[in-house]
Every structure is written in structure tokens, then in C-alpha cells.
Amino acid sequence: MTVDTPGAAAAASPATHAHDNYLTAGRGLLSWLFTLDHKRIGVMYLVGILSSFFLGGVFALLVRTELLTPGPTIMTADTYNKMFTLHGAVMIFLFIIPGIPATLGNFVLPLMLGAKDVALPRLNLASFWLWMIGAVVAVASIIMGAVDTGWTFYTPYSTTTGTAVISMTLGAFILGFSSIFTGLNFIVTVHKLRPEGMTWFKMPLFVWGIYSTAIIQVLATPVLGITLLLLIAERTLGVGIFDPALGGDPVLYQHFFWFYSHPAVYIMILPAMAIMSELMSVFSHKHIFGYRFIAWSSIAIAVLSFLVWGHHMFTSGQSGLANMVFSALTFSVAIPSAVKVFNWLATMYKGSISLDTPMLYALSFLFLFSIGGLTGLFLGALATDIHLHDTYFVVAHFHYVMFGGTVIAFLGGLHYWWPKLFGRMYSERWGRIGALLIFVGFNVTFFTQFVMGSHGMPRRYYNYLEQFKPYHQASTYGSYLLSLGFVVVAGYLLHSLFRGEKAPNNPWGGATLEWETSSPPPSSNFAHEMLAGDPYDIESLRFDPETRGYVRKDPGSVLLTRVGA
């Protein structure tokens, strides 16, 4: 049986490909809503998640605009409480938790394994429907009066406030199950659908990252589920588990809540790190450095993330003993993250670096995530956290890791896999402009918040002392610049869908399996048998000026095995 080379496939006329991919197979809304194709599900998630990011961003801009002046600027204090709550709840539950796994994970992971789909396609569709239903319930909650408790729903305020807590927590509960099912699916897929010859340590690191994320999703999210259920029971029935007026314990609520919500932040960052491993290698045109270290560090982060939740509770009334234990354990979780950062840097060393847009985002990630991670140490240290807790220092820290980390890596991954998803190249020039605007806007917005916070500006405050006004104003103008960056990115990406240059199979020179198939792929993922080898054997590829993509230098190499079809 002959093996088609990717080069030959790419040289086929664009016309035949246009009719032979997952986007065009089957028309009409129902063919999408009832699809079992992981690629279509990934794209639908992408639309939903980017819309949620936009909604959460609108709330953010409202918050920042209000903070231009102390006291009332554009809204009342009660409305302000709702705005920051909704910003947090929408961004966390609708955008960032599903985020990378549901979109890029769903699309790319089966391709990287040479598989035709995830292990449980109907469960995948169920995940997506649950996401949609949860989103509808959350939006309904917003319309019904919204919530003003902060996204953390601390008792006893959340059990006594008159706002729409029940519907919002119900929405989050449903979204939690969407997340659980996605994680479950990926665990089974990675265990059972790897091709012959692809042992665990021959998988791409992106898969390791998504797998580690899935472990957390499966173990932690159910505890959020029971917590929200108890909160709903507290409000409707008055069960008195968390409400002190009925004999309950509000600090216990925080234990319940953070047992999920701390691992949740690693659900947010692990997939971003997973993307980073791919980008670092491909755009340095060099084999990843320290593959096993990076792989194991993903698992280590997943496990250690369950041991540190109390560092959110240092000032809550948690006992001194617990405070000390959690502070000490928190330092441990920094180690595997550092391992990754150093391995990425070592990957770049003596590489041939291309500063394409995905790489610009990857480099931004290194810088921003390092700042975010290091400032986490200030917060993990008990003595300093007593002063920094609930100040803008915390806000800046988590925005550096969640936004400067996850969102930046998400953008990098989106730009990296965009040609594969949609078969189009975007404008590289505009890509760079967008990345620059976002980088500058982000730092202006959030670096000022570190300074403010260390000077004592509390978070979630509507009113503030005059001395903080310059910081708030700088931060707000930064957020406008940041938004402009996103408008630019949205603009050229949408434009590329209609006018972008047709993409070759492998525009960047990646050695993982998704680059072996056409851009975009056919419904069955691989029209021909593919060649699989070391996923970071970047140097086995060469640029082919005819197709403007990369091809294998030696398709007959013994290092390659056949998979797929």
C-alpha cells in the first residue's frame, strides 16, 4: 500500500478540497447542533466562548469606567457590585474554564492522536448542549436582576441577599457538568485512542496538558457542584450548613468553594501551558527541551493543585495551623510551573526563532506569566498575604496569570491552529499590530494595579481615596487600549474567513499529526494514512516554496510509522 505524501495532497487543486472538509459536509443549523464531529463541536464552542469573552469584557469595561472617579461615575454602588460579580462569573464559568479544552482541545486532540474522533462523541455533544443551557440560565439570571455577591458567592451574604443567586448558581452548576463531561471524554480518549506505537511518552505535550487538566476537571468540579447545590438548598430550604443564623459555618463554605476553585485555576492554566509547549518548539524550529520534565510537571501541577486551597482563606477565620500548612504547601506548586518555563527557554536557546504572531503571543506569555506566577509567591507567603489579601495586588496577580497567561496563550493557539480550523491564513501584519496593542494595553491596565494594591487599595470597592485616582485612571485607559487590540484581532480574523489566503497543510512546520492532514481537515480527519514519528522532530521538515508550507524531508524514513485511515 503506498503512502501519500502530504506534499502531494497539498498540491491537489484547491477546488477539490473546498468541497471535501468538515465545514462543508452537511449544511444547515441542525447538522451543526446535532453533529457528532469533534471538529464542529470545537468550532461551536469557539463561537460560544468568544461571545462569552466579549460579554465578560463588556462588564469589565463598565467596571473600569465606573472607577475613573471615586464615588459614583456612571452607576450606583449596588449596580457596581453586580458588574464586578458578573464580570467574574461570566469570565470564569462561561469563558475560561471551558476555554481552551472545549475549543482547541476538542478540535486538535483527536487529530494529534491520529484518531477519527474523541472516545465518546455523544457525550461530547451533551457537553456542548449543557454549556449552552448553562449559558442561557446564566444570561437569564443576569436579566432577572443579576448577582452582587462577587463570583465567589461567600455566605452569609449570598444566603441573605435579595439578588438572583439561585439562578446564577444553577447556571454554574450546569456548566460544571459540561466541564466534567469534557474532562471525562479526554481521559478516555487519551487512554484508549492512541495509535499503535504512540506510547505515553511519544504523545505531544499538548495532549499531556489537556489530560492533566481533565484529571482536575473530573476530581474537583463535582465538589463545586455540591457546594452550589448546598447554597441553593440554603436559600430555598434554609438547611443551615453554611448560614450562621441557622447554626451553620461560613468558613466551611469557603473550604468547600476553594477546594474546587483553586484546582480550577489550574484547569485554566494547564491548557495554556500545553499550547506553549507546541508554540515554543515549532517557532524555534527546534525539538522541545526536557520533554519528560514538561510532561511530568503537568501531572505534578494537577496533583499538587489539590493541596493548597486554603491560601485563599488566610484571613477568613481559618485556624493558624491550617494557615501555616497551606502557606508551606503553596510554595511547592510553584516548582513544576518553573520547570516548564525553564524548559521553554532552553527550547528557544540556539533555535531559529520566527516571530510570527503565534510566537509573539508565546513570548508575551513567558513574560506575563512569569510576573503573575512570581507575584503569587507574595500572596502564598502568609505574612505578606495578611496585608495584600483583598487588595488590587490580588486582582493584578490573577489577571496576569489568567489573562496574561491563559488568554494570551489561547490567542497564540488560536492563531497557530487557525489555518487548520478554517483553511485560511490571516494577515500577519495585522496580527503583529493586534499582539502589540494587547501586550501594551494589558500591562498598562494591570501593572498599575500591583502598585495600587501594595499601597492598600482594596478590591471590589466602589469608592476610593483620592490618592488612588491616577492609578485607576491609568488602568482604565489601559483597558480601552486593550479592547482596541481585541477589536483589531477580531477584525482581521473574521476578514480572513472570507478573504484570507488558502492555507497549506503545514504552514508553520509542526511535526504533530494534525499538520499531516489538509487545512481544513475532512470529516473523517485523515483522508490518507498518515506518518507519525517524534512529535517534536521539527528538523525533519523543510519549507516548500511551491505550497508555502512544510513537508517531510524524508517520507520514507524508518522513524515514521503509519496511522489513520
Partner 1 sequence: MSEHTDNGVHVSSVRLLLVVWVALIIGTYLTVTATYFDLGSLNIWIGLAIATAKAVLVALYYMHLRWDRPFNGFIFLTAFLFLGIFVGIALMDTAQYQDTLIPGFATAVGSAASDG
Partner 2 sequence: MTSHSESHHDPHLAHHFESPAQQYQSARLGMWVFLVTEILFFGGLFCAYAVYRANHPEIFIFGHHFLDKGLGAFNTVVLICSSLTIAWAVRAAQLKQIRILKLMISLTLVCAFTFLGVKYVEYSHKWHAGLLWARSYAPQVDHGDGDHGATPESVQMAAPAGGESAAGATAAPAQPAPATAATPDHSNIAPAATGPAGLAVEAAGGGDEVVAEPKNAQTFFSIYFLMTGLHGIHVLGGIGAMFWLLFCARRGDFDTGHFTKVDMVALYWHLVDLIWIYLFLLLYLIH
Phi, psi for residue 83 in degrees, rounded to 5? -65, -45
Q: What are phi and psi of 523, to 5 degrees?
A: -55, -35
**CB under 8 A: which stretch of 229-237, 437-445, 447-455, 494-502 binds partner 2?**
229-237
Region of 44-52, 303-311, 358-366, 529-537 interacting with partner 1 (CB under 8 A): 303-311
**Residue 191 binds partner 2, judged by CB under 8 A:** yes
Considering only 307, 353, 436, 451, the residue that binds partner 1 (CB under 8 A) is 307
Query: How many chain residues bind partner 1 (CB under 8 A)?
Result: 31
Amino acid of residue 428? E
Q: What are phi and psi of 506, to 5 degrees?
A: -135, 80
Q: Does 225 bind partner 1 (CB under 8 A)?
A: no
List the Cα angle 247/250/253 in 5-degree steps. 115
For residue 424, state whether it binds partner 1 (rule: CB under 8 A). Answer: no
**191: contact with partner 1 by CB under 8 A:** yes
What are the φ and ψ backbone dihedral angles of 524, each rounded to 5 degrees? -85, 10
166 contact choice in partner 2, partner 1, none (CB below 5 to 8 Å, kind-dependent) = partner 1
Determine how many CB atoms are found less than 10 A away from the CB of residue 16.
Answer: 9
Q: Is 317 left (phi over 0), alpha (psi -120 to 50) or beta?
A: left
- Max Cα-Cα span within the chain: 76
Nearer to partner 1, 293 or 331 (CB): 331
- Taking CB under 8 A as the criterion, the residue among 245, 335, 338, 497 binding partner 2 is 245
Q: Please choose which of partner 2, partner 1, none residue 381 contacts, taking the beta carbon within 5 to 8 angstroms, the exact cut-off set by kind.
A: none
Contact partner at residue 120 from partner 2, partner 1, none, CB < 5 to 8 Å by partner kind: partner 2
3-state secondary structure 403-430: HHHHHHHHHHHHHHHHHHHHCEECCHHH
Query: Do 169 and 232 meet the contact criterion of CB atoms below 8 Å apart?
Result: yes
**Which of the choices partner 2, partner 1, none does residue 156 contact, using the CB cut-off of 5 to 8 A by kind?**
partner 1
Contact between 552 and 13 under an 8 Å Cβ cutoff? The reply is no
Is residue 544 near partner 2 by the rule CB under 8 A? no
199: left (phi over 0), alpha (psi -120 to 50) or beta: beta
Residue from 91, 108, 146, 184 in contact with partner 2 (CB under 8 A): 184
Parallel, antiparallel or unpaired: strands 549-552 and 561-563: unpaired
Identity of the residue, 307 or 366, whose beta carbon is nearer to partner 1 in the bound complex: 307
**Could you tell me if 38 and 117 are in contact, meaning their C-beta atoms sit under 8 angstroms apart?**
yes
Which residues does 184 contact at the CB level (< 8 Å), separation at least 6? Answer: 120, 123, 214, 217, 218
At residue 3, what is the residue type? Answer: V
Q: Which three cell numbers stand for residue 535?
A: 512529535
Least distance (Å) between residue 436 CB and partner 2:
42
Nearest to 374 by CA among 401, 399, 406, 354: 401
Is 189 or 523 the residue whose CB approaches partner 1 more closely?
189
* Kind of pairing between the strands at 541-544 and 530-532: unpaired
Q: Cβ 42 to partner 1, closest distance in Å?
A: 26
Minimum distance, C-beta of residue 152 to partner 1, in the bound complex (Å): 18
The verdict on 226 binding partner 2 (CB under 8 A) reads: yes
- Find the part of the chain contacting partner 1 (CB under 8 A) among 45-53, 116-124, 133-141, 248-256: 248-256
Should residue 306 be labelled a site residue for partner 1 when binding is judged by CB under 8 A?
yes
243 binds partner 1 (CB under 8 A): yes
Q: Please tell me the distance from the alpha carbon of residue 442 to that of residue 474, in angstroms, as a whole number.
A: 11
Of 300, 363, 418, 408, nearest to 46 (Cα)?
A: 418
Q: Which of 238, 355, 546, 554 binds partner 2 (CB under 8 A)?
A: 238
Q: Which stretch binds partner 1 (CB under 8 A): 82-90, 174-182, 236-244, 477-485?
A: 236-244
Give the per-residue SS3 of 255-315. HHHHHHHHHHHHHHHHHHHHHHHHHHHHHCCCCCCCHHHHHHHHHHHHHHHHHCHHHHCCC
Burial of 199 per CB tally in 10 Å (0-12, 13-18, 19+): exposed
Tell whether residue 140 is a contact of partner 2 (CB under 8 A).
no
Judged by CB under 8 A, the stretch of 186-194, 371-379, 390-398, 478-486 that binds partner 2 is 186-194
Residue 8 sits in the site that holds partner 2 (CB under 8 A) = no
Size of the site for partner 2 (CB under 8 A): 45
Binding test (CB under 8 A) with partner 1, winner from 8, 11, 77, 252: 252
For the bound state, the minimum distance from the C-beta of residue 194 to partner 1, rounded and expressed in Å, comes to 14
166 interacts with partner 2 by CB under 8 A: no
Whether a cis peptide bond, with omega within 30° of 0, leads into 156 is: yes
Binding segment for partner 1 (CB under 8 A), chosen from 101-109, 241-249, 376-384, 404-412, is 241-249
Is residue 218 at the binding interface for partner 2, with CB under 8 A as the rule? yes
123 interacts with partner 2 by CB under 8 A: yes
Count of other CB atoms within 10 angstroms of residue 377:
13
H/E stretch holding 543 reads strand 541-544
Is the Cα torsion angle 51, 57, 63, 68 positive or negative in sign?
A: negative
- Residue 527's binding partner among partner 2, partner 1, none (Cβ under 5 to 8 angstroms by kind) is partner 2
For the CB of residue 245, give the shortest distance to partner 1 in the complex, in Å. Answer: 4
Applying CB under 8 A, the residues found at the interface with partner 1 are 156, 159-162, 164, 166, 191, 219, 223, 235, 238, 243-246, 249, 251-252, 255, 259, 306-307, 310, 317-322, 325
Applying CB under 8 A, the residues found at the interface with partner 2 are 115-121, 123, 180, 184-185, 187-188, 191-193, 218-223, 225-227, 229-230, 233, 237-241, 243-249, 252, 256, 524, 527, 565
